[in-house]
C-alpha cells in the first residue's frame, strides 16, 4: 500500500511512519518543519526515517496546491499534522490555520486520490474537555482553542464519510509518552531537567491531575490496526489509550525512580484549559480493532530515558 503520513517528523507521526514502513508499505512522510519546537529534534526524526528509505516531503498543508506536490495514487492518509497542545505562545490563528485550514486543504487533495481506501484523522482527548473519561458517543465540550479546532478538523473529515466522498475515521489519542516526545512535554522536560539537576515547572494543583499516560508503541498498535478494516471503522470515532490512570505526581516519581535521584519542583500558576482527568474508555477500540495496550508507565519511562540519553 502507498501511505501518506502528515506530521511525519513529529513525535507520534514518526513512530507511525516507521511502523508502516516495517510492515512493508510504501510510506511518504510530509511535514512543514516549523519552529514550534526544536528543529534539531525534527531533523533527528527525519534522518531516522530517511535512513530507512522513507521519503520525506517538506510541505505546509496551509498551502492549497497539495495536488500539484503530492502523488494522487495514495491508498491511505494518516493525518497527524497539527498545531499541538495548550500553549501560551500559540495564537488562535495558529490553531485555526494549522488545524482547520490545513485539514480542509488535505481533504481537498484526498478527493483527487481515486484509489484512497481510508482517511485516518488523528484526534485528541482534549476534544472531550476538562474531563476525558467518556465513550465516543458523549457530546464533546472542548475547553481550549486546541480542543475546539481539533474537533472542527475531525468533523470536516467525517463529513466526507457521511457524504460518501471517501471512507474516513478519527482516532482520539490519550496522553502519549515515549521516545521522541516533544521538548515542552512533561516527560521529556522532567528527564532533561532531572539530568541537569534543575527544577521542573509544575502547574499549581496539577500534581493531582489524573492521566492515561500511554506508551507511543501502544498507540501506534491501534493506529495501524485500522488498515484492512475500512468498512468497519468508516465514519467512526475511536479512543486509543490505556485504561490505567496515574497522577502527575506518580509520573514524576517514575522518572525519579529511573534516574535514581529526586527532581526539584517549582510550582507555577495554573494553566487555563488544562484537563483535570483523562482516562481512556477503549471498549470500542477493543471491539473493533482488538486493541489491548500493555506497556506500564515505568516501562515507558525507561524507554524514554534510554532514548533521551542516547540522543541528547
Q: Where are the alpha helices (DSSP H) in 52-185?
A: 66-69, 92-95, 102-110, 145-162
Distances in whole angstroms, Cα of residue 231 to Cα of each of 112, 255, 264, 293: 20, 42, 51, 23
CA-to-CA distance for 29 and 168, rounded, in angstroms?
Answer: 19
| 3-state secondary structure at position 108 | helix
Instruction: Pick left, alpha or beta for residue 107 (phi over 0 → left; psi -120 to 50 → alpha; otherwise beta).
Output: alpha
146, 174, 187, 291: which is the annotated catalytic residue? 146
Q: What share of the chain is helix, strand, coil (3-state, %, to 5)?
A: 40, 20, 40
**260-291 burial code (b ≥16 CB/10 A, e <16):** eeebeeeeeeeeebebebbbbbbebbeebbeb
- Residue 26's DSSP bridge partners are 2
CA-to-CA distance for 301 and 213, rounded, in angstroms?
Answer: 10
Q: Where are the alpha helices (DSSP H) in 23-144?
A: 39-51, 66-69, 92-95, 102-110
| 3-state secondary structure at position 238 | strand
**146 catalytic residue (yes or no):** yes
Look at the block and give the residue holding cell 484523522.
Answer: 121
CA-to-CA distance for 189 and 110, rounded, in angstroms?
Answer: 37
**Active-site positions?**
146
Amino acid at each position: 500500500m502507498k501511505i501518506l503520513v502528515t506530521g511525519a517528523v513529529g513525535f507520534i507521526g514518526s513512530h507511525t511512519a516507521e511502523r508502516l514502513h516495517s510492515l512493508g508499505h510504501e510510506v511518504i512522510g510530509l511535514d512543514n518543519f516549523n519552529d514550534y519546537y526544536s528543529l534539531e529534534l525534527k531533523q533527528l526524526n527525519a534522518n531516522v526515517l530517511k535512513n530507512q528509505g522513507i521519503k520525506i516531503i517538506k510541505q505546509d498543508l496551509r498551502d492549497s496546491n497539495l495536488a500539484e506536490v503530492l502523488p494522487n495514487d495514495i491508498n491511505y492518509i494518516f493525518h497527524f499534522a497539527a498545531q499541538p497542545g495548550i500553549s501560551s505562545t500559540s495564537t488562535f490563528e495558529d490553531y485555526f490555520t494549522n488545524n482547520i485550514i490545513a485539514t480542509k486543504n488535505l481533504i481537498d487533495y484526498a478527493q483527487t486520490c481515486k484509489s484512497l481506501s481510508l482517511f485516518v484523522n488523528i484526534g485528541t482527548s482534549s476534544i472531550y474537555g476538562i474531563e476525558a473519561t467518556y465513550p465516543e458517543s458523549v457530546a464533546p465540550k472542548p475547553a481550549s482553542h486546541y480542543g475546539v479546532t481539533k474537533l472542527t478538523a475531525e468533523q470536516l473529515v467525517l463529513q466526507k464519510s457521511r457524504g460518501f466522498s471517501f471512507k474516513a475515521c478519527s482516532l482520539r489519542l490519550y496522553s502519549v509518552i515515549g521516545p521522541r516526545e516533544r521538548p515542552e512535554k512533561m516527560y521529556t522536560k522532567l528527564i532533561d531537567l532531572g539530568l541537569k539537576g534543575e527544577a521542573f515547572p509544575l502547574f499549581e494543583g496539577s500534581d493531582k491531575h489524573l492521566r492515561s499516560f500511554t506508551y507511543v508503541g501502544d498507540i501506534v498498535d491501534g493506529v495501524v490496526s485500522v488498515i484492512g478494516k475500512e468498512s468497519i471503522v468508516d465514519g467512526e470515532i475511536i479512543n486509543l489509550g490505556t485504561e490505567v490512570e496515574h497522577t502527575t505526581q506518580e509520573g514524576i516519581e517514575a522518572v525519579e525512580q529511573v534516574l535514581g535521584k529526586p527532581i526539584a519542583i517549582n510550582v507555577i500558576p495554573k494553566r487555563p484549559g488544562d484537563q483535570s482527568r483523562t482516562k481512556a474508555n477503549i471498549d470500542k477500540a477493543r471491539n473493533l480493532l482488538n486493541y489491548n495496550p500493555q506497556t506500564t508507565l515505568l516501562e515507558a519511562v525507561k524507554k524514554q530515558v534510554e532514548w533521551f540519553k542516547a540522543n541528547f
